[in-house]
C-alpha cells in the first residue's frame, strides 16, 4: 500500500506541475491520451443528463464528472463539422461549407490542409480511428489512413445500413484499405475494435482515438433487444432511435472501462460532441437506400413522417443555421485534471484542434492559420471564450455568426432577410430584434460579410453542374456574371459524374 500511495502521489504531483506549465507559459505539454467520441445527428435533448428520457448512464456520468460545454457549436451538417474538427479551420476556408460529400462526388478535404491526426502523429502520438469518415472517398488520398491515421476501421462515405454496411447495394466497410463483409451491428463492431485498440497500447506512447459513431444518424436501425427496452415509447421510429443512442452509450461505457482496466484513465482526456443537431426534417433523415427502395423496414423516413430527434429548447434541426441545427451536446472529461463545471461561453468545433495540440505539444501549419483558439483556460478556469466572435457558417447564399449573447442569421437568396437574436433571453430564436438593435445587427453583419469575402468556392456547388446537363453549363460560362454567388469566373474542369 505504501508503494502504491507513493506512485499515486508522484503521478498527482506530475499532473499539477504539468497543469501549471500548460496554464502559464505552456513550456511542458501534458501529453494525455485523447479519445474523441463523435455522435452523429444527436438531438440536443436526447441524452439523460440533458433531461431526456433515453437511457444514457455512461455518457451522463462522463458529463456530470466533466466540463459541460453548453454553448458549443458544430456545423449544420456532417462533412463541414468533421472538417472543422480535423483542421481547426472554418470549412469555408477550403470549400467544404455546403452540405455533405455525396457518393457520386469526387472531391474531399483538400490535401494541403494539415489534419489533427497528422499534427498529433508528428508530436509522437499513435493515431487511431474507428467509424465514419465522410471527408472524401473517391480517391485514396482522401482516406483516413492517408490523412494522418495509423489505423482505420469503418466507412468512408456517409450513412450506411447498420447491419450490412451497405449503401445502394455497395459495401462501404474497411480495415486499413481492405474492404470487409462482416456480420454484426455497426455500433457494436466499432466498439469492439476500440476496446481492442486500447488494450493493445503499452502506455509508453500517447494515443489519439477518434471514435466516430454513425449513431443515431438514419437509417434508424437497432438490435431488437435494444428496441424492446423502449416498448413504452409509442412512436416506432422514436423507439428505434432511442435504442440506437442507448447502444452508443453501451460502447462509451466499454471504452471507459477498458481505459480503467489498462490504467490509462487518469491520463486520458475524453471529449464528446455531436457533429450537428438532430434531424427534424425528413430531407435529412432519408437513410441509406434510394427513395424507390425506402420503407419503414430499412429505417428511412417516409413521406409525411416526422424524424425522431428532439433539439429542445432550440428551434429547427440538422441543416439549419438555427440553434437546433448547430448548437450540440458536448463535454470534456478528465477528472484527474479538470473539475466538474458548466461552461456557457461560446465555443466551436474549430477550437478543439488548437487546444489538443497545446496539450500534446503539436503544431499546426503556419500557412494555414487556425480559426479556432486554445480553449484550455476556459475549460479549466473562469476565462471567457477565447473567440471574439464565432462564425457558425457562411455560404454563397446564407450565413450566421455569434458574438457574446447575440446571433445574426443572414439569408441572401431573394428576397433575403437578416435576423438578430439575443440567445440569453431567447434561446429558441423566436423573436427577431434587429430593428431594436440596429447597431449590433450592423456590426455582426459586417463581420459575417468579412468572413464571406474570404471563403473559397463551395466544392459542392461546383460539382453540381456535372449532374445538371445543359442547364449546368450556364454557370460555367466565364462571361456569366456570378460575383454574388461566390463561384469563380474562370472555366473549371469538373470530374465526370
Catalytically active residues, by annotation: 78, 134
Could you give the count of Cα atoms lying within 13 Å of 441 in the half-sphere of its Cβ? 14
CA distance 408 to 444: 6
Q: What angle do CA 426, 428, 429 make, to 5 degrees?
A: 70
Give the torsion through C-alpha atoms of 428, 408, 39, 333, to 10 deg: -90
CA distance 322 to 407: 10
Give the torsion through C-alpha atoms of 329, 341, 256, 12, to 10 deg: 150
Give the torsion through C-alpha atoms of 44, 49, 52, 55, to 10 deg: 120
Q: Which helix (H) or strand (E) holds 196?
A: helix 186-200
Is 475 exposed, middle or buried (CB count within 10 Å of its CB: 0-12, 13-18, 19+)? middle
Q: Are strands 390-394 and 398-403 parallel, antiparallel or unpaired?
A: antiparallel
CA distance 132 to 93: 23
Listing DSSP states for 238-258 in one string gives: HHHHHHHHHHHHHHHHHHHHH
CA distance 98 to 248: 28
CA distance 159 to 242: 18
Amino acid at each position: 500500500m505504501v508503494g502504491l500511495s507513493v506512485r499515486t502521489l508522484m503521478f498527482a504531483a506530475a499532473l499539477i506541475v504539468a497543469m501549471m506549465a500548460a496554464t502559464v507559459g505552456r513550456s511542458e505539454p501534458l501529453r494525455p491520451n485523447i479519445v474523441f467520441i463523435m455522435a452523429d445527428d444527436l438531438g440536443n435533448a436526447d441524452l439523460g443528463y440533458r433531461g431526456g428520457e433515453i437511457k444514457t448512464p455512461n455518457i451522463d456520468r462522463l458529463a456530470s464528472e466533466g466540463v459541460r460545454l453548453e454553448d458549443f457549436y458544430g456545423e449544420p451538417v456532417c462533412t463541414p463539422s468533421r472538417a472543422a474538427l480535423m483542421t481547426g479551420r472554418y470549412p469555408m476556408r477550403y470549400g467544404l461549407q455546403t452540405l455533405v460529400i455525396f457518393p457520386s462526388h469526387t472531391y474531399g478535404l483538400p490535401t494541403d490542409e494539415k489534419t489533427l491526426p497528422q499534427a498529433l502523429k508528428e508530436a509522437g502520438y499513435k493515431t487511431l480511428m474507428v467509424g465514419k469518415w465522410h471527408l472524401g472517398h473517391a480517391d485514396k488520398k482522401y482516406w483516413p489512413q492517408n490523412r494522418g491515421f495509423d489505423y482505420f476501421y469503418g466507412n468512408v462515405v456517409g450513412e450506411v445500413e447498420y447491419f450490412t454496411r451497405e449503401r445502394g447495394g455497395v459495401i462501404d466497410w474497411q480495415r486499413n484499405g481492405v474492404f470487409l463483409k462482416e456480420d454484426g451491428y455497426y455500433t457494436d463492431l466499432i466498439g469492439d475494435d476500440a476496446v481492442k485498440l486500447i488494450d493493445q497500447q503499452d502506455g509508453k506512447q500517447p494515443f489519439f482515438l477518434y471514435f466516430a459513431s454513425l449513431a443515431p444518424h438514419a437509417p434508424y436501425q437497432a438490435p431488437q433487444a435494444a428496441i424492446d427496452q423502449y416498448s413504452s415509447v409509442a412512436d416506432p421510429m422514436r423507439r428505434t432511435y432511442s435504442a440506437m443512442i442507448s447502444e452508443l452509450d453501451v460502447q462509451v461505457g466499454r471504452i471507459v472501462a477498458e481505459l480503467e482496466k489498462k490504467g490509462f484513465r487518469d491520463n486520458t482526456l475524453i471529449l464528446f460532441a455531436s457533429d450537428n443537431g438532430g434531424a427534424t426534417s425528413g430531407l435529412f433523415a432519408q437513410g441509406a437506400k434510394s427513395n424507390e427502395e425506402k420503407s419503414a423496414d430499412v429505417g428511412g423516413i417516409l413521406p409525411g413522417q416526422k424524424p425522431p430527434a428532439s433539439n429542445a429548447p432550440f428551434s429547427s434541426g440538422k441543416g439549419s443555421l438555427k440553434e437546433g441545427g448547430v448548437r450540440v451536446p458536448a463535454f470534456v472529461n478528465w477528472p484527474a485534471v479538470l473539475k466538474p463545471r458548466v461552461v456557457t461561453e461560446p465555443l466551436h468545433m474549430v477550437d478543439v484542434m488548437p487546444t489538443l495540440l497545446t496539450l500534446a505539444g503539436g503544431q499546426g501549419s503556419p500557412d494555414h492559420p487556425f480559426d479556432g483558439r486554445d480553449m484550455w483556460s476556459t475549460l479549466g478556469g473562469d476565462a471567457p471564450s477565447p473567440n471574439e466572435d464565432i462564425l457558425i457558417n457562411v455560404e454563397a447564399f446564407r450565413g450566421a455568426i455569434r458574438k457574446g449573447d447575440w446571433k445574426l442569421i443572414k439569408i441572401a437568396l431573394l428576397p433575403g432577410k437578416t435576423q438578430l437574436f439575443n440567445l440569453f433571453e431567447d434561446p429558441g430564436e423566436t423573436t427577431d430584434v434587429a430593428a431594436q438593435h440596429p447597431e449590433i445587427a450592423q456590426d455582426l453583419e459586417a463581420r459575417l460579410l468579412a468572413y464571406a469575402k474570404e471563403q473559397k468556392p463551395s466544392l459542392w456547388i461546383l460539382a453540381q453542374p456535372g449532374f445538371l446537363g445543359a442547364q449546368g453549363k450556364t454557370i460555367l460560362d466565364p462571361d456569366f456574371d456570378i460575383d454574388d454567388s461566390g463561384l469563380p469566373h474562370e472555366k473549371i474542369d469538373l470530374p465526370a459524374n
